[in-house]
Amino acid sequence: KRVAILISGRGSNMTAILDAAKASNYPADIALVLANKPDAKGLETAADHGIATEVVDHRNYKGDRSAFDAQIQKKLEEHKIELVVLAGFMRILTAEFVGKWTDKMINIHPSLLPSFKGLNTHQRAIDTGCRLAGCSVHFVRADMDSGPIICQAAVPVLNDDTADSLAGRILKAEHKIYPRAVALVAGDKVLVDGMRVRIKDDGN
């Protein structure tokens, strides 16, 4: 399947996926990396991997979200994309755009959803006294961070954790589960049933 990865910054999740996609039997072909910021570090990494890149700068659409999304859609069509992977993509997409990619667009969020949707998830988990934090890969729906969950990883919160130290350990877990989740979805191993996701050929 032809996959586009959307980024806004360093793209460490993108890099983990690009590395996994080098395996000959990986069911996804990373055909495009698209950023909403021209200076997104991940664009260089993508170019180094020989991946096509595009920039759709949200500042050129001053608040007209549907025009911004329409330009992204145009680029995805030009590159014949079949699956969209949001990886550190920090823009809210319109319900109209999301609706075009139902069950064909996934995101990684740095919390154990449904807890801690939104931002500053690590500090919130620490402040709430959670013993476990983590990350979740989910299908994108119009409501932010609210789609059916594909996979998760739990990461213990340590006594002396700061948001940064916890974030560092969770990011490592993200780099493990996201490449696997992309392979499952690209390989059509994932069935969505309402909020429930079933993984074919898998015990759980």
Strand order of the β-sheet with 2-7 is: 52-55, 29-35, 2-7, 83-86, 105-109, 132-139, 149-156
Q: Which of 21-29, 54-62, 97-105, 106-114 is the region at the interface with ligand GRF (rule: CB under 6 A)?
A: 106-114
Q: For residues 137 and 15, what is the distance between their CA atoms, to the nearest angstrom?
A: 16
The answer to whether 49 contacts ligand GRF (rule: CB under 6 A) is no
The answer to whether 33 contacts ligand GRF (rule: CB under 6 A) is no
Output the smallest distance, CB 13 to ligand GRF, in A. 3
180 is in an annotated binding site: no
* Contact assessment for residue 88 and residue 8, using Cβ atoms and an 8 Å cutoff: yes
The answer to whether 108 contacts ligand GRF (rule: CB under 6 A) is yes
175 as an active site residue: the answer is no
Q: Which of 2-10, 68-76, 147-155, 156-164 is the region at the interface with ligand GRF (rule: CB under 6 A)?
A: 2-10
**Which one of 49, 58, 109, 122 is the catalytic residue?**
109
Q: Which of 54, 69, 145, 174 binds ligand GRF (CB under 6 A)?
A: 174
The answer to whether 145 contacts ligand GRF (rule: CB under 6 A) is no
The answer to whether 183 contacts ligand GRF (rule: CB under 6 A) is no
Output the smallest distance, CB 144 to ligand GRF, in A. 11
The answer to whether 9 contacts ligand GRF (rule: CB under 6 A) is yes
The answer to whether 153 contacts ligand GRF (rule: CB under 6 A) is no
Binding site for ligand GRF (CB under 6 A): 7, 9-14, 87-88, 108-110, 135, 171, 174
Residues known to be catalytic? 109
